[in-house]
């Protein structure tokens, strides 16, 4: 493994000073002083290649700039048209680091402008390998006359750069993605020019010698969007709890130094659209500098989901030791199955998912039933709330048992929630990678041919629509593809 760091950003204003930022104030998060809980360090990087939908959106979001490039370049070469083949290289953090345009001699200034416009795009999410996208863009003439004056060359779009360092394989290969058909079509039509030319033609046709043409102001009103493209308070809180074990370890260590560590530690964190953050201690009443730094470090370890294009988010989040410490009952040697089952349930309720999992696995070895496997999946999901391959392997074992009856009634909500989590976050942040993961998990459930899966089909249709795959959603035959996500 090697440490991969984002390029350092230029020094900017302090957190919270940007007018284009959201601010969230949280009530204090009480941390149980127990030393166990999920740890973000155990969360593997998203190892799958970047979603084709995300890569397509990366180029499509720069459509306006590509249109302006085409109008600017076509002013000199009136017959400039065709399909341009290009290759984009993305770094681990999803930033476009290089654009190569094939046959630059043919495209001339347009190739240079396109190569300057696309690096402003970003795939936002982290992948532990570089990505190389080979695609094409069709530039076609609209039939509109060349404007009298040359349009301006579009300026590059400035994005908030990612920050921080992550671990990635030292010998990582490159994910090569090829989009066979043209990704988008761009023409040189300009509405303002069309309005002006039409008014001039009408004026001349009326016989007026001198015409004064005033610009037409168009007010475009769009329908409201369900997805905001931002991280919200529920997403922030859930991802902070992904590192509950690290926060708890901070207070356990502090308790060894001081019997009763007390007082809130208030952190301020600036979350960027790519999921990275910078964290500092705003104030502390703990009287323990080592505890303050430990809590700050635990918060800095959290990586939030990438949002589509939302503003920076400023988070004020206090932490404090919980007043009561949950008790995990012990299990005696050769204890009864009923006692082991009750102790496993109590451990899960106390937040000790690792202990609960060990006990449920022991029970499942002696009784490999559907109900036991439901308990295993439930404990695995609590231990690894980001839902990774070990959790999904346990879910696949449960599906292989073909749940029916009472076990199906318990299993289906547990299985569905494994897909609803990435679906909900992906819909709010417009993160295509998470939506693709949700689609795969819904399809895994449906492939098992279980009964009572109408809700799963509705969720799947909703995720497909979010990804722009409406034909696949329609094929499911779901009338209402808008179930409520948590």
**Non-local CB neighbours of 42 within 8 Å, separated by 6+ positions:** 384
Q: Element (H or E) spanning 362, and its range? A: helix 353-366
Token look-up 């020094």 returns 11
Complete domains list, the chain, with CATH: 18-40+229-321 (3.30.1150), 52-196 (no CATH), 337-475 (1.25.40.10)
The pLDDT assigned to 428 comes to 87
Q: Which residues of 274-305 are buried (b: 16+ CB within 10 A; e: fewer)?
A: bbbbebebeebebebeebbebbbebbbbbbbb
Radius of gyration of the chain (CA): 27
Q: CA-CA distance, 248 to 205, in Å (whole number)?
A: 80
Q: Determine how β-strand 82-90 pairs with β-strand 96-101.
A: antiparallel
Token look-up 């004020």 returns 316
What are the C-alpha distances in Å from 253 to residues 33, 42, 126, 258, 270? 9, 20, 32, 9, 27
| Among 227, 424, 230, residue whose Cα is nearest residue 309 | 230
Q: CA-CA distance, 327 to 346, in Å (whole number)?
A: 8
Q: CA-CA distance, 434 to 442, in Å (whole number)?
A: 12
Token look-up 């451990």 returns 347
- What does each of the 486 residues of the chain score in pLDDT, given as a tens digit? 555 666 654 444 444 444 467 899 999 999 998 889 999 888 876 567 787 777 888 888 889 999 999 999 999 999 999 999 999 999 887 888 899 999 999 999 999 999 999 987 776 667 778 899 999 999 999 999 999 899 999 876 555 555 555 556 666 688 898 888 888 999 999 998 988 888 888 887 887 767 766 655 554 443 333 334 567 899 999 999 999 999 999 999 999 988 777 789 999 999 876 677 899 999 999 999 999 999 999 999 998 887 655 567 899 999 999 887 777 888 888 889 999 999 999 999 989 999 999 999 999 999 999 999 999 999 999 999 999 999 999 999 999 999 999 999 999 999 999 999 999 998 988 888 889 899 999 999 999 999 889 999 999 999 999 888 888 998 888 765 555 665
The pLDDT assigned to 329 comes to 80
pTM above 0.75, yes or no: no
The pLDDT assigned to 41 comes to 86
484 DSSP assignment: P
Q: CA-CA distance, 186 to 184, in Å (whole number)?
A: 7
Q: Which residues of 362-383 are buried (b: 16+ CB within 10 A; e: fewer)?
A: ebbeeeeebbbbbbbbbbbbbb
| Among 268, 12, 272, residue whose Cα is nearest residue 125 | 272
């Amino acid at each position: 493994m090697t440490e991969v760091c984002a390029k350092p950003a230029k020094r900017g204003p302090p957190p919270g000073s940007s007018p284009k930022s959201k601010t969230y104030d949280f009530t204090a998060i009480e941390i149980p002083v127990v030393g166990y809980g999920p740890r973000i360090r155990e969360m593997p990087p998203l190892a799958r290649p970047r979603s084709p939908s995300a890569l397509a959106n990366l180029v499509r979001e720069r459509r306006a700039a590509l249109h302006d490039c085409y109008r600017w370049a076509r002013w000199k070469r009136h017959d400039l048209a065709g399909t341009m083949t290009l290759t984009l290289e993305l770094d681990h953090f999803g930033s476009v680091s290089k654009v190569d345009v094939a046959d630059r001699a043919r495209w001339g200034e347009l190739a240079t402008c396109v190569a300057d416009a696309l690096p402003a795009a970003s795939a936002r999410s982290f992948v532990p390998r570089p990505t190389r996208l080979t695609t094409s863009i069709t530039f076609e003439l609209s039939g509109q006359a060349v404007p009298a004056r040359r349009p301006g060359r579009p300026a590059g779009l400035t994005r908030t750069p990612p920050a921080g360092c992550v671990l990635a394989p030292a010998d990582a290969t490159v994910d090569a993605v090829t989009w066979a058909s043209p990704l988008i079509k761009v023409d040189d039509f300009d509405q303002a020019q069309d309005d002006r030319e039409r008014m001039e033609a009408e004026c001349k046709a009326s016989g007026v010698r001198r015409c004064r043409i005033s610009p037409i102001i168009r007010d475009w009103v769009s329908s409201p969007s369900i997805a905001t493209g931002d991280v919200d308070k529920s997403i922030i809180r859930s991802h902070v709890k992904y590192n509950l074990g690290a926060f708890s370890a901070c207070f356990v260590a502090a308790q060894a130094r001081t019997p009763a560590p007390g007082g809130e530690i208030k952190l301020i964190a600036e979350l960027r659209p790519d999921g990275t953050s910078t964290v500092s201690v705003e104030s502390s009443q703990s009287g323990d500098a080592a505890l303050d730094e430990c809590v700050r470090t635990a918060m800095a370890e959290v990586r939030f989901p990438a949002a589509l294009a939302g503003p920076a988010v400023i988070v004020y989040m206090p932490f404090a030791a919980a007043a009561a410490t949950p008790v995990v009952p012990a299990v005696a040697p050769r204890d009864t199955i009923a006692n082991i089952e009750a102790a496993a349930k109590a451990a899960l309720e106390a937040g000790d998912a690792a202990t609960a999992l060990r006990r449920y696995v022991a029970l499942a070895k002696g009784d490999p039933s559907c109900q036991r496997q439901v308990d295993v999946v439930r404990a695995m999901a609590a231990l690894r709330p980001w839902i990774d391959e070990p959790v999904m392997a346990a879910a696949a074992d449960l599906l292989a048992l073909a749940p029916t009856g009472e076990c199906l009634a318990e299993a289906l909500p547990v299985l569905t929630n494994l897909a609803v989590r990435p679906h909900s976050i992906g819909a709010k942040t417009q993160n295509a990678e998470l939506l693709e993961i949700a689609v795969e998990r819904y399809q895994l459930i449906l492939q098992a041919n279980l009964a009572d899966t109408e809700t799963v089909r509705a969720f799947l249709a909703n995720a497909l629509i979010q990804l722009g795959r409406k034909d696949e959603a329609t094929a499911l035959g779901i009338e209402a593809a808008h179930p409520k996500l948590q």
